[in-house]
Amino acid sequence: MSLSEIRTRLTAAERRAGRPEGAVTLIAVSKQQPDARVEAVLKDGHRVFGENRVQEAAGKWPAFRERYDGIELHLIGPLQTNKARQAMELCDAIHSLDRPKLAATIARLAQDMGRCPGLFVQVNTGEEPQKAGVTPAEADAFVAECRAMDLPVRGLMCIPPVDEEPTLHFALLAKIAARNGLQGLSMGMSDDFEQAVMQGATHVRVGSAIFGSRAAV
């Protein structure tokens, strides 16, 4: 697979869903990828990337930003409160807002910094104990709590259970977003992004299908 193939498949999925071309943002997930692979995608003109860890992003992206204009960086992995300031300095969007303590920290830092990345609330649609995210039942109240702190909540994010039909989880996330007046839906990865597009995804997170298998940790 390659970036051009993924772009072609994404455009076809938008067409099948009756959505305009470019309606869905492709986030190239560059976590644990060698710099040479990332640079190849940058040279191909792509500018929207996703990282799982703040530390890895900090070691990689400042240098790329010096050489390439227009990079948009999304944090898609879990965020510890003690890394929140660094994440907010580095990233244009954070997709893993998942608890009140983190929301309060981001709100305080946003006041200090005078800016805040776009935020996506992570919803644990499968209610899996090992996964981060608020439960579907908690989502409305948490979105309201974040809005009361003047946080720029743009949408919701989910990672469906690996052994369940993802479309059901995408549809659930879309329903929660709609009733909360949220436009953003960060959902869909390498194996299921086309289904996510059909359910209204605005951001899909594709890594290995663009870059190849990740480097060993």
Output the average pLDDT for the chain: 96
The count of residues in the chain is 217
The pTM score is 0.95
Q: Tens of pLDDT along 79-121? A: 999 999 999 999 999 999 999 999 999 999 999 999 999 999 9
Q: How far apart are CA 1 and CA 68, in angstroms?
A: 24
- Return the pLDDT at 214: 67
Domains and CATH numbers, the chain: 3-96+161-211 (3.20.20.10)
Query: 187: Cβ–Cβ under 8 A, 6 or more apart, which residues?
Result: 157, 158, 160, 169, 170, 173, 196, 199, 201, 203, 204
pLDDT for residue 176 = 98
Nearest to residue 153, comparing CAs of 189, 188, 180?
180
Which of the residues in the chain have pLDDT under 50?
A: 217
| pLDDT at residue 215, rounded to an integer | 56
Q: Which residues contact 213 (CB under 8 A, 6 or more apart)?
A: none
Beta bridge partners of 94: 75, 119
